[in-house]
C-alpha cells in the first residue's frame, strides 16, 4: 500500500499555482508499434505540396483548408485546435519492442532502473503545475514481457519516471485506478473500511518509524528518516484529498460495471481509462495524466469488425493479416478508435466551464508513438498529433507542420520539441533530453523558436 501510495510523490508536491490563474493541463497518450508518417498526411494537399511531402521538405499548411485522413475523422470538429507535427526524430531513444521511458525522457532506456537518467517530460510539467496527486499514469499493459510482466490489471512499473532511477507506477485497469484514486469518496462499506484502515496504518507507521530513527546512526538513520518522511507526505496528500472530497465525489467516473471487470476487452479498458483520466483532471486531483493506450505486447480484443479476435500487435507489425483484414487495415482500425477516445476527452473538456471559458482552453493533449515511425523504427521520424486549447502558449494550432527531415539543416528532435513545451510553460531549461550523436553537424540544443510565434 505504501509503495502504491508513494508513486505520485515528488518535489514541490503541494506548491500553489499563481493566484487567479487556471492550472495548465497536459495529457500524454502514447502508442506502441509505430505510427506511419504517411498515415497523417492530409489527402487534399496540392501536387506541389505532395511533392514536398514525398521529399520530406519543410512546409506547412492550414488544416482548415484540408481534409483530415479518414481515420482521424472523429477530430474534424477540432481542426482549429489541432496540429499534425511531422519531421521530429528520436534516434537517441530506445526504438525496439519495449521502449520503457524513452519517448517521454529522450534517452535510451531499458528494464534496468539504472537506465532512467532523469524525470520524464510529463513529470517536469507536473512540477510546474502542482496538484494533490501531481501526476497520474494509466496503462494498457502488455500481457507478456515488457513492463507489466503479465500483471495487466495491477499497479506496475509504468512508462514515466519521477527522477533518476525512479520509475513511476501505472494503474493497469479502470478497476484498480478507481479503487486507489477515488477510495476516499466511494460509498460502499468495504471501500470505506479499507480507507480508514490504511489511514490508521499510516499514522501508526509514521509514529513508529520516527521513534525508531532516534535509535539509529548514519546511513540507516537516513534511510528510516526518508521512509518516515514519505509516509508523512502520503498523509499530507490524503489530507488534501479529504479537503476536496465534495468536488471529487461530484466527478467520480460513472461507468457501467463491465468496465471494472478483470477480463474486459482492450477497447473497453481504453474507454474506462479515458473516463478515469477525465475525472482526475476535472476534479482537480491532478493536472497531468499519461496514458499508454497500447504497447507492442498488448493483446487487442474488441476491435470493430474483428471483436472476437485476439490481435497480436507484433504480428500486425510484421504485416500479418487478421481475418479478412490486411495488417494496414487493422492498424487503421486501432488508430480510428484512438481518435474516437481523443475526441471524447477533448469534447468533455470543452463542455466543462472554467474562468469564463472551458477547461480545454488550458489543456494540451499529445498523441504519439512509443518507438517512432514503424514497428522496427530507426527513430528518424516521430509524428505527433497535438490538440491544444485557446490559451496554449505555442503558435502551432490549426496547422500541418513538416519540419526539415533528419540530417537536413534546421532538423529538430524530440529533445527540441520537449524543450519548447517546457520553456513555454515556465521551465527555462537550455535543453531537455539526450543529444543524437549522429547529428554532429547540427546544433541540436534549444527550443523550436518558430513555435513561439
Rounded Cα distance, 192 and 169, in Å: 24
The whole-chain average pLDDT of the chain stands at: 87
User: Is 56's pLDDT higher than 90?
Assistant: yes
pLDDT digit string (tens) for 139-190? 999 886 666 567 899 989 999 999 999 999 999 999 999 988 887 776 565 5
Q: Where are the alpha helices (DSSP H) in 157-217?
A: 174-181, 189-213
| Paired residues of 358 in beta bridges | 353
What pLDDT band is residue 408 in, cutting at 50, 70 and 90? very high
Judged by average pLDDT, the poorest of 1-5, 201-205, 224-228, 315-319 is 1-5
Rounded Cα distance, 342 and 338, in Å: 6
Record the cell numbers describing residue 287, joined without a space.
493536472
Inter-residue contact 159 to 290 (CB < 8 Å): yes
User: Is 20's pLDDT higher than 60?
Assistant: no
> What mean pLDDT is predicted for residues 128-133?
93
> What mean pLDDT is predicted for residues 103-107?
98
pLDDT digit string (tens) for 138-153? 999 988 666 656 789 9
User: Is 276's pLDDT higher than 50?
Assistant: yes
- Give the per-residue pLDDT at 4: 41
Alpha-carbon dihedral angle through residues 232, 237, 238, 242, given to the nearest 10 degrees: 140
Show Cβ contacts of residue 6 under 8 Å, excluding neighbours closer than 6 positions: 230, 233, 234
User: Is 130's pLDDT higher than 50?
Assistant: yes
Q: Which residue has the higher pLDDT, 444 or 218?
A: 444
**DSSP code at position 202:** H
Q: Give the HSE-up count for residue 386: Cα atoms under 13 Å, Cβ half-sphere.
A: 25
**Rg of the chain over CA atoms, in angstroms?**
22
The three-state secondary structure class of 60 is strand
Report yes or no on whether pTM surpasses 0.85: yes
Q: Which residue has the higher pLDDT, 15 or 133?
A: 133
Show Cβ contacts of residue 223 under 8 Å, excluding neighbours closer than 6 positions: none
pLDDT digit string (tens) for 197-238? 455 554 555 555 555 555 555 556 555 455 555 555 555 666
Show Cβ contacts of residue 247 under 8 Å, excluding neighbours closer than 6 positions: 283, 284
> What mean pLDDT is predicted for residues 237-245?
75
Rounded Cα distance, 134 and 252, in Å: 18
Going 398 to 365 to 254 to 245, the CA torsion angle's sign is negative
Instruction: Read off φ and ψ for residue 288, nearest 5 degrees.
Output: -135, 125
Nearest Cα neighbor of 230 from 166, 292, 279, 180 is 166
pLDDT digit string (tens) for 331-379? 999 999 999 999 999 999 999 999 999 999 999 999 999 999 999 999 9
Judged by average pLDDT, the poorest of 47-61, 212-226, 321-335, 432-446 is 212-226
> What mean pLDDT is predicted for residues 26-53?
98
Inter-residue contact 25 to 359 (CB < 8 Å): yes
CB-neighbour burial class of residue 211 (10 A; exposed 0-12, middle 13-18, buried 19+): exposed
Record the cell numbers describing residue 99, joined without a space.
521502449
Q: Above pLDDT 70, what percent of the chain? A: 83
Judged by average pLDDT, the poorest of 76-85, 242-251, 314-323, 343-352 is 242-251
The DSSP string of 321-381 is -BTTB-HHHHHHHHHHHHHHHHHHHHHHHHTSEETTEEGGGGEEEEEEESSSSSTT--SS-
Cβ neighbours around 2 below 10 Å, total: 13
Q: Which residue has the higher pLDDT, 14 or 101?
A: 101
User: Is 191's pLDDT higher than 70?
Assistant: no
Q: Give the HSE-up count for residue 335: Cα atoms under 13 Å, Cβ half-sphere.
A: 25
Pairing outcome for strands 59-62 and 82-86: unpaired
Residue found by looking up cell 467516473 in the block: 253
Rounded Cα distance, 320 and 32, in Å: 16
The domain limits of the chain are 23-181+257-452, 183-251
Inter-residue contact 312 to 306 (CB < 8 Å): no
CATH class held by domain 23-181+257-452: alpha beta
Amino acid at each position: 500500500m505504501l509503495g502504491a501510495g508513494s508513486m505520485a510523490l515528488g518535489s514541490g508536491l503541494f506548491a500553489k499555482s499563481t493566484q487567479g490563474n487556471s492550472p495548465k493541463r497536459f495529457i500524454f497518450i502514447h502508442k506502441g508499434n509505430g505510427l506511419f508518417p504517411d498515415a497523417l498526411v492530409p489527402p487534399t494537399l496540392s501536387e506541389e505540396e505532395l511533392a514536398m511531402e514525398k521529399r520530406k521538405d519543410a512546409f506547412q499548411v492550414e488544416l482548415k483548408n484540408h481534409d483530415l485522413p479518414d481515420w482521424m475523422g472523429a477530430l474534424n470538429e477540432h481542426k482549429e485546435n489541432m496540429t499534425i507535427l511531422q519531421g521530429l526524430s528520436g534516434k537517441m531513444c530506445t526504438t525496439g519492442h519495449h521502449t520503457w521511458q524513452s519517448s517521454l525522457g529522450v534517452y535510451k532506456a531499458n528494464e534496468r532502473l539504472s537506465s532512467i537518467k532523469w524525470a520524464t517530460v510529463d513529470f517536469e510539467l507536473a512540477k510546474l503545475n502542482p496538484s494533490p496527486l501531481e501526476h497520474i499514469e494509466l496503462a494498457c499493459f502488455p500481457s507478456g514481457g515488457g513492463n507489466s510482466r503479465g500483471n495487466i490489471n495491477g499497479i506496475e512499473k509504468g512508462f514515466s519516471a519521477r527522477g533518476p532511477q525512479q520509475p513511476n507506477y501505472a494503474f493497469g485497469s479502470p478497476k484498480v485506478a478507481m479503487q486507489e484514486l477515488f477510495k476516499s469518496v466511494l460509498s460502499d462499506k468495504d471501500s470505506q473500511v479499507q480507507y480508514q484502515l490504511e489511514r490508521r496504518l499510516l499514522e501508526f507507521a509514521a509514529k513508529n518509524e520516527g521513534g525508531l530513527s532516534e535509535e539509529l546512526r548514519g546511513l540507516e538513520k537516513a534511510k528510516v528518516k526518508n521512509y518516515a518522511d514519505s509516509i508523512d507526505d502520503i498523509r499530507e496528500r490524503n489530507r488534501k484529498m479529504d479537503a476536496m472530497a465534495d468536488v471529487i465525489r461530484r466527478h467520480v467516473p460513472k461507468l457501467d460495471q463491465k468496465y471494472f471487470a478483470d477480463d474486459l476487452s482492450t477497447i473497453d479498458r481504453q474507454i474506462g481509462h479515458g473516463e478515469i483520466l477525465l475525472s482526475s483532471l476535472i476534479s482537480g486531483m491532478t493536472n497531468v495524466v499519461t496514458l499508454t493506450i497500447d504497447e507492442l505486447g498488448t493483446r487487442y480484443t474488441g476491435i470493430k469488425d474483428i471483436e472476437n479476435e485476439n490481435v497480436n500487435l507484433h504480428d500486425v507489425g510484421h504485416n500479418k493479416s487478421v481475418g479478412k483484414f490486411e495488417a494496414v487495415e487493422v492498424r487503421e482500425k486501432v488508430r480510428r478508435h484512438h481518435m474516437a477516445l481523443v475526441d471524447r476527452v477533448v469534447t468533455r473538456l470543452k463542455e466543462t466551464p472554467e474562468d469564463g471559458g472551458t477547461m480545454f482552453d488550458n489543456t494540451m493533449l499529445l498523441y504519439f508513438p512509443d518507438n517512432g515511425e514503424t514497428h522496427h523504427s530507426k527513430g528518424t521520424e516521430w509524428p505527433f498529433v497535438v490538440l491544444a486549447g485557446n490559451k496554449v502558449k505555442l503558435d502551432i494550432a490549426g496547422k500541418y507542420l513538416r519540419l526539415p527531415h533528419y540530417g537536413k539543416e534546421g532538423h529538430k528532435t524530440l529533445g527540441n520539441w520537449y524543450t519548447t513545451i517546457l520553456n513555454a510553460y515556465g521551465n527555462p531549461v537550455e535543453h531537455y533530453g539526450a543529444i543524437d550523436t549522429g547529428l554532429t553537424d547540427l546544433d541540436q540544443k534549444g527550443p523550436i523558436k518558430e513555435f513561439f510565434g
